[in-house]
Structure 1
């Protein structure tokens, strides 16, 4: 008997749907089909692949409302946010439909006259993707679109909390004409499927978005077959507000960065590092805006902060808040919770903490929740030291109207993505990824298709 995964709405506890899980044998069969399909798909023209991606893009646009509702039901994020994610997700497909036709090789002058040197690019092979729950559409298309554009076949293993978005995206891809064995989705135990992916010789690349510990394990397990790897891992983003910052702008952009998806994103501002001279003004203005946020079911009108995805995530947030308060932090607003353990529904009201110091867990651990801790600084060097004091290096933000200080900050921050007076820098045409323990490789932009390509060098001798 086939086991089934039950999917629940984190805002209400209601069962949405159950979906069949694949056995280990079925996952292996999917990989074998992907391998066989690669032999044909990789030989199709870039123009053909681009045309199918464009059809997929169009279909997602036609079904954006239905997709957004699925995201809100299984993820909990507000419906308007979910609509924005669908647009963002589709943008990757449109971008890589165009990039498919721009995978260029080159000729290289030989050192002798009787040789010719040609460099070409070809698809890596079948790709396995493991995607998270917090962006159940965008984290798939950001990987699938460049892989398919490059000529790779693709298997998605979505998060168990949010499989329905993945299934619908794959269905629309098939309707668009992408062959079923070229684009597949498998659902089941993450550890078991991850082990199959990393050990199977037919899978030539693993792409993963998730926690750093899981990413490290996938890297270790992939070593025996020397797979290509792309890893977008944890973050602990600093947001620096300098003494000459436009405070209204800084507050507006902090709201955008911190409270989107109830703070459950890897690029959320996790530590607000504010100049001592403006801390009260900034905190008061931020408090005014946070007070306007409505917490609840994402399908209800006016809701801007949805539920925490599960009990484990909720407990981590509460633990960090309690630890900070016990060590002297002040609660400016929030630290309130709506909990229904019977239905597994957990809401955290947006929270601002002041009088924060480095003894507190929240300054060293990614929160993944709607909590904004404010720590102060006096010198720019102190702010940079605070910002870089982490093994992570995904995203960072700073606010200053002084171009000299801005350029200096941008060069000193050890992060793959930096927003200067911008709390939402992520876009399909720019490379997304981190430094240090925040990952390997980039997704988006011209750089995003590179991890799905091999370089081949051909030397032609012309002697008779």
Structure 2
């Protein structure tokens, strides 16, 4: 298969208003190709000075974008969606270079992101206010939903294009301007999106891109010109975001980690359950996803069968060069992620947290990149790190249960609450467990692709606030009550 050359990557830079900067006060970052470990670009990073310039540009652009004819705003978002789809091949190539996603699996993310822009374009001009009942003839009381202002958006490295769709589309649809901080090791997707948005007619300053690390994140979260922050990342980073934002009393949306339970009952479709356990729990993003079903809870009556099938399927996965058409699992995104996963697995083996059934090592012949074999642990201790903490790698933890109550207890017994999954043909059980599971979303007999019309978000240490649907739009609007006396 012909490799796409690194020239597909956009020029590393900061985009602030109409300006493009090739250096920043936050220094620079050597971006390494996850598949080879080799440096393929040097990314300039923002610091406090560039954050301030970006917020200033966004505030200057805000009145014009807020007051733009609604039909024009809608058309710009629709054109952005069209251009994302048209650019799918290049965006997929960028994702492969940037995160090591197998190229043949990276393409659909463009359509997903475009769907969010199409969906929220449809809300423009339709998300009206409310009239409040008062005594007839005395007054008119109504509610206006207005844009918040300037949004500080911080996205993760594991799925930047989808994150842009989930955050930027509703923010722009509501009439806000945005300062986006992509992580230093995953900035190319955001920069390419900025190019597409500008070509679609988005005015300068409405969307600004400032790659960086904490030197940009902290001043962005604490900037008095930021009206709301939307953040996706780890709980550890979220605590820093909240602490900094609290100084300016800036509201925050948090979409954090997960340790989602995938519960399989004897009456479930075992073929589908095994396929999902391996495909979503190990293969997708090489396990680097917040809502992935990384805990497999299996009823004792079918435990041995399911474990054998999952372990066998995991051993058949092709891990390797993300440009090869037979590859289904690429490398981890960074050397730090590889070290983290390796450390967790080694410790679990040493302390007997579970029985290692497969993997647990770097695959032979792939030492140049950040590869790790799909790893399966059985009979995992429910109190162990394997069962309790987000690993963010291709590591699946399997636990036994004997009853519905025990399954719910095990599923809820973590600090997270992002998603949960159930495999059963029993309609009563499906509804009962959906109500009992502590999660922002529950899927029965399937793995959702986060529909743009549905609310997505977590509870507990998985965050708060929602992305998607009217709920996601309202996150980027402020509520104003207007009372007009008539007597």
TM-score between the two structures when normalised by the length of structure 2: 0.91
Give, in whole Å, the separation in 1 of the partners of 2:259 and 2:466: 18
Aligned partner of 2:359 in structure 1 is: 334
Q: How does 1:53-452 map to 2 (within 5 A)?
A: 53-111=77-135, 113-188=137-212, 190-259=213-282, 260-328=284-352, 329-338=354-363, 345-452=369-476
Cα RMSD after superposing both structures: 1.8
Give, in whole Å, the separation in 2 of the partners of 1:194 and 1:330: 40
Give, in whole Å, the separation in 2 of the partners of 1:105 and 1:355: 54
- Following superposition, the deviation at residue 359 of structure 1 comes to 4.6
TM-score between the two structures when normalised by the length of structure 1: 0.95
Give, in whole Å, the separation in 2 of the partners of 1:197 and 1:220: 12
**Structure 1: gaps spanning 5 or more residues:** none
1:50 is aligned, of 70, 74, 80, to: 74
Q: Once the two structures are superposed, what CA deviation does each residue of 1:170-190 show, in whole Å capped at 9, x if it has no partner?
A: 1110110001200110122x2
- Following superposition, the deviation at residue 338 of structure 1 comes to 3.8
**Structure 2: gaps spanning 5 or more residues:** 1-22
Give, in whole Å, the separation in 2 of the partners of 1:404 and 1:320: 38
Does the residue aligned with 1:455 lie in a helix, a strand or coil?
strand
- Following superposition, the deviation at residue 129 of structure 1 comes to 0.4
Does the 8 A contact of 1:418 with 1:425 survive in 2?
no
Change (3 A) 1:435 1:173: same
Change (3 A) 1:342 1:81: closer
Does the 8 A contact of 1:417 with 1:432 survive in 2?
yes
Q: Once the two structures are superposed, what CA deviation does each residue of 1:153-183 show, in whole Å capped at 9, x if it has no partner?
A: 0111001111001000011101100012001
Does the residue aligned with 1:240 lie in a helix, a strand or coil?
strand
Does the residue aligned with 1:154 lie in a helix, a strand or coil?
strand
